[in-house]
Each structure stands twice: as C-alpha cells, then as structure tokens.
A and B are shown apart, each in its own frame.
Chain A
Amino acid sequence: MIDFVALGSAFDILLGSWQPWLVVIPGLFIGLIFGAIPGLSIPVAMAVFLPLTVYMDFLPAVLFLTAIFTGGGFGSGIPAILMNIPGTASAVGTAFDGYPMAQQGKHSQALGIALTSSTVGCAIGYIVLMLFVNSMAEAVLKLGPVEMFLVAAWGLTLIAALGSNDFSKGLIAGLMGVLISAIGMSGTGEIRGTMGFIYLLDGVPAVPALIGLFAASELFRLIGQNYIVSDAEKRRISFGQILVGVQATFRYPGILIRGSFIGVLVGAIPGVGASVANLISYSATKRRSDTPEAFGKGEPGGVVAAESANSSSEGGSMATLLALGLPGGAATAVMLSAFEMHNITGGSRFMSENLDIVYSIILGNFAQVILLFIIGLGFVFVASSVVRVPLNYLIPTVFVLAIFGSFSLTGNMVGPITVFVFSLIGWLMRRYDYPVAAMVIGLLLGKMAEGELIRSYQISGGEISFLLQRPIALVISALLVLSIVLPIIKGHRKRKAAQIAAISI
C-alpha cells in the first residue's frame, strides 16, 4: 500500500527546503477569508490566486492551492454558525445545528467543534488517500450513473428529516427545490421553465439561490433586533469556550470517523463532492441518533457530522485528481490548471513516476491540517466577534457582501437577481414554517439526480434487472434502505418499550 522509499524521498523534499512551506500560511488565510465570506467560494479564491503559481515550483504551487482548499473548507462553516449563512454549499449541514448553538450563546463552542471536526476530518481524508490512492481511483472508475443516482437519492432523503414539525411542508419545500433545479436546458436538450429568459438556459445558479434562501430567512428575521445573540452576557467571546468545543468534539468519535469516511468516499466521486457529503453525513447521523429530535436545535453531533464530512472530501477529490487526472469539482479543476501550467498531467503514469511528489503533497497537507488548527483557533476567536457587531450594521453589510459574491460567481446580474428573488421566497417560507434547508437540498441535488436517472435509464434500456449486475449499486441501495428502515424500527421499538413501561407503572 505504501512505498516506503518514495515516502522517505517525500520527507527529504519537504524538509530539505523551506520554500514549499512559505506559501502554506498565506494560502490558509486566503482560504479562511474567501470561505467565510458568503458567495466568495473556494474555487473563486483558487482561480484568483492561480496566476501566482506560475512563478512557483510544482510542489509549492500545489501546496499553496491545497492550503486555500483546506482553509476554505473550514472557513465556510464560520458564517453558517454565526449567521446561518453557509459560506458555500458544503457548509449547509453545519448551519442546521451550528446556528442554534450560536443563538444559545454557544458560538465559541460551536466554532471550536467545527474547527476540530474539520481538521480531524481533513487528516483522515489524507490518511485514506495515502493508503488507498490507487484502489480508490480504480473504484471511482467502476461508478456509473446508477451509483451516482443512488448517492444523490441518499442526499435527498435528508429532506424528509428536515420537516420535523410538519412532514408535508418539508416535502413541499424539497420537491419545489428539485423542480427549480430542473429549470433550464436538460441533459437531453429540452428547454424547460426559462420563460424565454436566455440567462436561465444554464439553470438557476445554486449558490446565489442558497445564499438568498438562507440570508433572507435569517437577516430579514433579525430586522428589529439589536444583536444576533440577545443576551449581553452570552455575547462574550471566550477562547476558553472555543477550547471546550475542541474537547467536546472527541465525545463523538463515531460521528467523527463515520463523517470522515463518508466525506472521503463521496468526495472521490467526480461531480459530487463536499456539498453532498456534508448532507449525507448529517442525515446518517440524525437517523442513527437515539435523540433525533435534538438535531436542528443545537446538537453538537450535527456540527461534527457536517464538518468532518465536508473537510475529508478534499482527500477524496485529490485521489481522482492525482490518480486519474480527473477533477472532481471546480476546486480540483483549478488545481488541474496548475498541473498543466507546470506541464504535468495527473494519472497512473504520473503516480508511478512521481510517487515521491504525490507523497510530498499528502504529507504537506498533514502539516497544513496542523497549521489550520493553530491559525483557525485565532481566526475563529476574531471571527466570533461578529456576535458583538450591532445588527443595524451587520445586516446591510452582509447583504452587500452576498450580492457582490453572487456577481463574482455568475459574472453577470443573474447572481444578484437570484439572491434577491430567493430572498423573498426564503422569507415567505420561513414565515409560514417551511424549511428553507429542504429547498436548498432539492436545489443542490435535483439536477444531479435527474441527469443520472436519465443516463441510467438510457444505459439499462429501462430494465430493472440491470441493477443486479451492479454490485456497488446494490451495496449503496442496501445501505440506503437500511438507513431509512432501521431508525423507523428503532423508533417503533422505543415507543413500544415506553408504552410497556407506562402500563407496568
């Protein structure tokens, strides 16, 4: 599994020169800042700073970009916790329990939990990458549309878990999200729901829509209040409480490890990545919990599940990039550009001829994880002061940042208009108790589910027996069914036991 000669060479490369390390800390800071500002995504940060890598050697260039990737992976969780506005789609699950914790005055703890889960998740992702880089890449090649559809379907099942007060409201919101995601030109060339607007041919941009939905539901609700946390005593910024959060993370080892593995596996699938991984992990954790009703109300385990998965998916996406030369998402696509700028092509030949460089990248990322933890502690301490900023300044400022960020994502006015329109929808939905998160999940996964379902249908010719020829699909199907059925059986048994106990009293 590990070539120890190449591993030794990797240590020599990394310890023999200070040059690769020079770019890591600035990279982490850039990632943290871009991730923490809603709308400014990690790929945007990497694309902006990509030209700088021309002047670097290959290894520092890749370490610089992975530092942005790593920093951004955690950074996006900060506004999700403090303001209920996920910096990117990968932090949607973090907001579910992180923000309720912040409202209870546990913002420092929530940030400590998110930072630790993120760093541990990222480290596990890279350990898995180091051990199984080749086998992971081979497994990815065996995945087809059936398996991809099942992964999307798994993520979509979270919709059912979100309408806890009124199941049908959650379902309406989620299904509306699926329909909105289908607007534009379909994979088979049909144009649907564009109302003649040429800008909608590419569909509704998901990230500006999610910013609008989350930002509206929260910022509009906060109008008239003075601070995010109403109790002055609870607004205190405490480094001690951040450390309490760090410690608290290790009370959830099962969630941490499961989330990390879900992240690395889902992250390895091209086109899926962190935005799906955090939802699947959150969903799996909530279903397996003995107290699922505590989720969404400030349950630390929810933050651990989402953050460990979205960070470990980085390791998975690097596996397909290094071993196959395939970018799993926008961030790794930018990294692929850096490869090309240095005349390097990822793939099996690159792996066999440059295993020492591959190990250097992986080991360099371990060091980045440790640095992220140290820098992150200081960063979250400063960032948590958001709760002390008066809302009359914070609300307009965040709106402007969201509008600018959405423009930078789409490159035209579709981004800002989308934020505005979905702001209104989000506010209305929240007012009448429709979970906006369910609509976001439908929006993020709907298009993928539809595309993969169509491809599965085309390949199989509509024969269900085709599924029996796909062992990975059968395993995912079994896991999916178990993840839905087991909590129902568990809940039924619990209710029965409670009834028996009540009768015996």
Chain B
Amino acid sequence: MSKSSIETRLDWGHLGLLAIFSLATLVFLYDTLSESFRLENVIVILPVSLLVILLCAVQTVSYFRRSRSESSIVNDQNLAGQMVAVESAKQVLKQSRVPVFMALLGLYVLGLIYVAFDLSTFLFLFFALWLQGEKRLVFGAIYSAVLALALTWGLRYMVPFPFPTVFF
C-alpha cells in the first residue's frame, strides 16, 4: 500500500474538528488559569480540559490506524469502491448545498443585526426556498413576505425588547 493511498483516505474535516476541540480547550484552560489558580476556579475545568485533550489525542491516533486498515480493504474491493464513489458523488452534490445554506443563515443573522428583522427574514426565506429548489418564485415571494411580516408582528407584540424593523 502506497503512502498516497493512505492520504486519499484521510478525512481532513474530522482531524480539523479534533484540532478545533483541542485548541479551543487549550485556549479556555489558559484563560481560566490566567484568571486564577484557586481550587474553586479550576476544580472542574482543569481535569475536564486535560481529559478532553487526552481523548482527542487518542481519537486522532485511532483514526490514523482505522484509515490505514480501511485503505487496504478498499484496494481489495475495486468494484465496490467504484460503486461507493458513484454514491458519494451523489452525496457530495446534495451536500454542496449545505455550506451555501449555512452562509445564507450567517448572512441572515447579520441582517437581523445591521438591517431589519422583517426585511432580513423575507430575504432569507425567499433565497432559502429558491436554494431548496422552489421554482414558483411568485408563490415563494408571497409565502416569504406573509411569514416574515406575521412573525415580526408577533414578536413585536410578544417581547418588550427593541429590535429594528422596516414595517412595524
């Protein structure tokens, strides 16, 4: 088994997630210890942080071991490998919408802060429907407008907190 075949089986996303967990834990632990070394301050955070870092390390090592063994299995099953590739291509196509949807959600939250609740909600709903494959744009626009206005009116009626709007 060549070195490159192992590399192609590695899922950098998973390793990235483990790195995020470890790094966030280290930063949090550093921040906690710089605040104070008092037992009350570290009684839970210190042991829990050390355990998380240890578990992430164990998970990373076992991940590399699994990847190595899976690579050899895939090499032995060429046809099955091709079928998996077709299926995963379909999956990739489907999943490609997810990051776009996430970005749209992020823009929506920013819109709530910097634009207005009703307008941002309308735009989010309209573009989300379009992204989800809604071909009837007029119907989509009407649905988005009615829901955005109804929810904003309901929120205005219900909560005492101020929030920016265009219509209410």
- Point out residues on A near B: beta carbons under 8 Å: 44, 48, 168-169, 171-172, 175-176, 178-179, 182-183, 186-188, 190-193, 195, 220, 223-224, 391-393, 395-397, 399-401, 403-404, 407-408, 411-413, 416-417, 419-420, 423-424, 427-429, 431-432, 434, 446, 449-450, 453-454, 457-458
Q: In whole angstroms, how far apart are the Cα atoms of A445 and B6 in the complex?
A: 41
**Which residues of the partner chain A approach B72 to less than 8 Å between Cβ atoms?**
none
Known: A391-B132, A397-B125, A408-B158. A403 touches B41 (CB 8 A): no
Q: Which residue of chain B is the closest to A462 with respect to CB atoms?
A: B39
Q: In whole angstroms, how far apart are the Cα atoms of A240 and B25 in the complex?
A: 51
CB distance A392 to B51 under 8 Å? no
Overall SS of chain B's interface: helix
**Interface check B102, CB cutoff 8 A:** yes
Known: A176-B21, A179-B25. A399 touches B105 (CB 8 A): yes
Q: In whole angstroms, how far apart are the Cα atoms of A399 and B127 in the complex?
A: 13
**Which residues of the partner chain A approach B31 to less than 8 Å between Cβ atoms?**
192-193, 195
| B17 touches which of A416, A432, A446, A449 (Cβ 8 Å) | A432
- What's the minimum C-beta distance from A468 to chain B, rounded to whole angstroms? 21
**Interface check B14, CB cutoff 8 A:** yes
Q: In whole angstroms, how far apart are the Cα atoms of A457 and B42 in the complex?
A: 13
**Which residues of the partner chain A approach B44 to less than 8 Å between Cβ atoms?**
178, 182, 446, 449-450, 453
Q: In whole angstroms, how far apart are the Cα atoms of A195 and B151 in the complex?
A: 33
CB distance B43 to A457 under 8 Å? yes
| B112 touches which of A413, A427, A457 (Cβ 8 Å) | A413
CB distance B55 to A171 under 8 Å? yes
Q: In whole angstroms, how far apart are the Cα atoms of A392 and B113 in the complex?
A: 26
Contact with A along B3-39 (1 / 0, CB 8 A): 0000000010110010001001101100110011011
A-B contact pairs, 12 of them (CB 8 A): A172-B52, A172-B55, A178-B44, A179-B52, A190-B32, A193-B28, A223-B101, A400-B125, A407-B161, A446-B44, A453-B43, A454-B43
Q: In whole angstroms, how far apart are the Cα atoms of A15 and B77 in the complex?
A: 76
CB distance B129 to A396 under 8 Å? yes
Known: A48-B158, A453-B44. 10 other contacts (CB 8 A): A168-B58, A176-B25, A179-B45, A393-B143, A400-B125, A413-B113, A420-B106, A423-B105, A424-B102, A457-B39
| A417 touches which of B32, B109, B151, B161 (Cβ 8 Å) | B109
CB distance A396 to B125 under 8 Å? yes
CB distance B48 to A175 under 8 Å? yes
- What's the minimum C-beta distance from A461 to chain B, rounded to whole angstroms? 12
**Which residues of the partner chain A approach B128 to less than 8 Å between Cβ atoms?**
395-396, 399
Known: A168-B55, A176-B52, A192-B28. A404 touches B40 (CB 8 A): no
| B98 touches which of A417, A420, A427 (Cβ 8 Å) | A427
CB distance B51 to A175 under 8 Å? yes
Known: A223-B94, A450-B43. A179 touches B28 (CB 8 A): yes
Q: In whole angstroms, how far apart are the Cα atoms of A10 and B155 in the complex?
A: 39
Known: A179-B52, A223-B98, A403-B112. A190 touches B161 (CB 8 A): no
Sorted nearest first, the 10 A-B pairs with minimum C-beta distance are A392-B132, A396-B128, A224-B94, A411-B161, A450-B44, A432-B14, A188-B40, A190-B35, A193-B28, A192-B32
Give residues 115-147 of B contacting A (CB, 8 Å): 121, 124-125, 128-129, 132-134, 143, 147
Q: Which residue of chain B is the closest to A169 with respect to CB atoms?
A: B59
Q: In whole angstroms, how far apart are the Cα atoms of A223 and B45 in the complex?
A: 37
**Which residues of the partner chain B approach A392 to less than 8 Å between Cβ atoms?**
129, 132-134
Q: Which residue of chain B is the closest to A418 with respect to CB atoms?
A: B109
- What's the minimum C-beta distance from B76 to chain A, rounded to whole angstroms? 24
**Which residues of the partner chain B approach A195 to less than 8 Å between Cβ atoms?**
31
**Which residues of the partner chain B approach A175 to less than 8 Å between Cβ atoms?**
48, 51-52, 55
CB distance B59 to A172 under 8 Å? yes
**Interface check B86, CB cutoff 8 A:** no
Q: Which residue of chain B is the closest to A411 with respect to CB atoms?
A: B161
CB distance A432 to B101 under 8 Å? no
**Which residues of the partner chain B approach A399 to less than 8 Å between Cβ atoms?**
105, 108, 124, 128
**Which residues of the partner chain A approach B151 to less than 8 Å between Cβ atoms?**
400-401, 404
**Which residues of the partner chain B approach A453 to less than 8 Å between Cβ atoms?**
43-44
**Interface check B74, CB cutoff 8 A:** no
CB distance B109 to A458 under 8 Å? no
CB distance B49 to A179 under 8 Å? yes
- What's the minimum C-beta distance from A241 to chain B, rounded to whole angstroms? 29
- What's the minimum C-beta distance from A31 to chain B, rounded to whole angstroms? 15
Known: A220-B102, A396-B125. A429 touches B17 (CB 8 A): yes
**Which residues of the partner chain A approach B24 to less than 8 Å between Cβ atoms?**
176
CB distance B98 to A190 under 8 Å? no
| A400 touches which of B97, B98, B124 (Cβ 8 Å) | B124
Q: In whole angstroms, how far apart are the Cα atoms of A391 and B128 in the complex?
A: 11
Q: In whole angstroms, how far apart are the Cα atoms of A434 and B25 in the complex?
A: 17
CB distance A192 to B132 under 8 Å? no
Q: In whole angstroms, how far apart are the Cα atoms of A431 and B102 in the complex?
A: 14
Q: In whole angstroms, how far apart are the Cα atoms of A401 and B121 in the complex?
A: 10
CB distance A223 to B97 under 8 Å? yes
Q: In whole angstroms, how far apart are the Cα atoms of A417 and B114 in the complex?
A: 13
- What's the minimum C-beta distance from B144 to chain A, rounded to whole angstroms? 8
**Which residues of the partner chain B approach A457 to less than 8 Å between Cβ atoms?**
39-40, 43
Q: In whole angstroms, how far apart are the Cα atoms of A458 and B59 in the complex?
A: 36
CB distance B38 to A188 under 8 Å? yes
**Which residues of the partner chain B approach A408 to less than 8 Å between Cβ atoms?**
155, 158-159
CB distance B55 to A393 under 8 Å? no
CB distance B132 to A407 under 8 Å? no
**Which residues of the partner chain A approach B27 to less than 8 Å between Cβ atoms?**
193
**Which residues of the partner chain B approach A429 to less than 8 Å between Cβ atoms?**
17
**Which residues of the partner chain A approach B97 to less than 8 Å between Cβ atoms?**
223-224
Q: Which residue of chain A is the closest to B143 with respect to CB atoms?
A: A393
- What's the minimum C-beta distance from A402 to chain B, rounded to whole angstroms? 10
Q: Which residue of chain B is the closest to A171 with respect to CB atoms?
A: B55
**Interface check B88, CB cutoff 8 A:** no
**Which residues of the partner chain B approach A413 to less than 8 Å between Cβ atoms?**
109, 112-113
Q: In whole angstroms, how far apart are the Cα atoms of A481 and B101 in the complex?
A: 46
- What's the minimum C-beta distance from A248 to chain B, rounded to whole angstroms? 35
